[in-house]
Amino acid sequence: MGSPLGSEEAGAVLGPDQYVCTLPAEVCKLAETHLMEEDRARTSAIVQMRDFISSHTSITKCRMDGNFLLRFLRMKKFRVEEAQEQLEKYLRMRQEHPQWFTKLNILDPTLDELISTGYFFALPERDESGRRVFFSVGGKMDPARFTASDQMRSMLVGFESLIEDEENQVRGFTYIFDEKELGLSIITLWTPSDVSKAFQCCEKTIPMRHKEIHIVNLPSTLMAVFEFAKTLLSDKIKNRFQMHSDNSKLRQAVPARLLPKEYGGTIPLADMIQMYKKELLSVRSRVLMLDQMHIGKKPKNKRIDKALTTIQRNFKKLDID
């Protein structure tokens, strides 16, 4: 299969553009107040990000458009050096874990099937803070049919797709996880190392802002697992968790109008999922274009290696003498 993008679109996605902010005034004010984003600072920061990419000896291909670079700047509140480090970390994570990051194609049958179950998708309306809300029905993840990589990919295709919207970059995201039918068998899919890497990926690598996390219907049998998972997160994220014993308690914290009909709202969950898949399809080409980015492995310090080799040889000579 050929590239889903023509050469003209590829250039628009990957190359530098003349960025023009199209955010509503309310969102611009929010960005200025909370993210230190101002017109002059934004223009200068984008230039510095592009210079960083161009001069980096390991980055051979990277998106240079303003939308892409701003997600790192906004995550780091326009501390440019930290945003540059975040970009490099993100590129290396993608390179080291292609099983999670590449071919995030909503038309992929496995990905489409898992999303269609309701395992992970975004609700159509924004919450009271103007944020998009990711919703997960954990029990829909069948460990006999899907892998840990399938889980990660179902989330990452949503993350990468929705941060194409700059308003989401500024406002951040809310999450609702319904764990009612979640079984212990799902744990067997993950090694402790992969769990740690996945948490690092979601919290510290993907350039997005996690603002509010709701856990509902968590079985008592999984409470210890949940407490362990929290130890892998920063205190900032831990403090954003809200626990709800049932759906009625959830509706006290989240307006019912946002929720699927099965949870007290008006739109059936299946209809919401179809709306979400159409949204992913609309940015599919831009998400797939991310696969063309590349960063080489960290170069070894040849001078240090040479010095160590020399020292080792000298010691061998001493032993012989």
Q: Domain map of the chain by residue range?
A: 7-100, 102-284
Task: Supply φ then ψ for residue 135, to 5 degrees.
Answer: -125, 135
Query: pLDDT-based confidence at 185, cuts 50/70/90?
Result: confident
Name the 3-class secondary structure at 226. helix
The whole-angstrom separation of Cα 128 and Cα 7 is 41
- State the CATH class of domain 7-100: mainly alpha
Average pLDDT, the chain: 89
> Residue 173 burial (CB < 10 Å; 0-12/13-18/19+)?
buried
Q: Are 179 and 138 in contact (CB under 8 A)?
A: yes
The model's pTM: 0.87
- pLDDT tens digit sequence for 136-169: 999 999 998 999 999 999 999 999 999 999 999 9
pLDDT at 310: 56
Write the CATH number of the domain with boundaries 102-284.
3.40.525.10
| pLDDT > 50? residue 2 | no
Q: Which two tokens stand for residue 221?
A: 């049998």
Quote the crossing angle between the two packed helices 269-282 and 148-162, to the nearest 10°.
70
User: Mean pLDDT across the stretch 36-49?
Assistant: 96
